[in-house]
Homo-oligomer: A and B are copies of this chain.
Amino acid sequence: MTDLKSLANPLFLREDELRQAIELLFYAYRDFTRGPDEILERYGFGRAHHRALHFISGNPGITVAELLAILRITKQSLSRVLSALIEGGFVRQQQGTRDRRQRQLFLTDQGKHLERQIATVQQAKVAEAYREAGAEAVAGYRKVLSGLIDAQERPAILRAIQRR
């Protein structure tokens, strides 16, 4: 019966398939974040610090409000993380040019170095998975993950990601 169904319509989504998709995401995320965690630990930082470093690295001069919107955490949660990064000399703030209330965020050389160190590990992992899977699979990966992003913000996020 299952076979009949999937023959008739390959996009008939059995619950098993959906469960697999969900578990794959869980396992991949679980293992993907382990490398960074080990590096961060040496600096006394956690994942939240990495996320900040990552998005400041990709968006130099980003404001606090913009970063909050990306990370979807509260001001207070980000504040702690940013303070630690600034205190440690990994991030610097600069008064906004257009609006002087804003604090634009930049990585210092030390911050760039740490970000690079982590990015290298993660990128190596992705690069290997990409090579194993092939170009076509990569396109599929992107399509499906894009579809999991909230529809409302999807266009803006995809634009931001592909901008570079």
Contact = CB atoms under 8 A, between A and B. Distances in A.
A130 B21 contact: yes
Nearest to A132: B147
A4 interface: no
Contacts of A44: none
Interface residues of A, number: 59
Interface in A126-164: 126-150, 157, 161-162, 164
* Interface secondary structure of A, over-half rule: helix
Contact of A133 (B15, B54, B147): B147
A145 B22 CA distance: 11
A15 B130 CA distance: 13
A23 interface: yes
Contacts of A99: none
A123 B13 CA distance: 9
Nearest to A139: B140
Given A18-B122, A133-B144, A137-B143, 4 more contacts: A31-B148, A31-B149, A129-B145, A134-B143
A43 interface: no
A28 B25 CA distance: 9
Nearest to A15: B123
A19 interface: yes
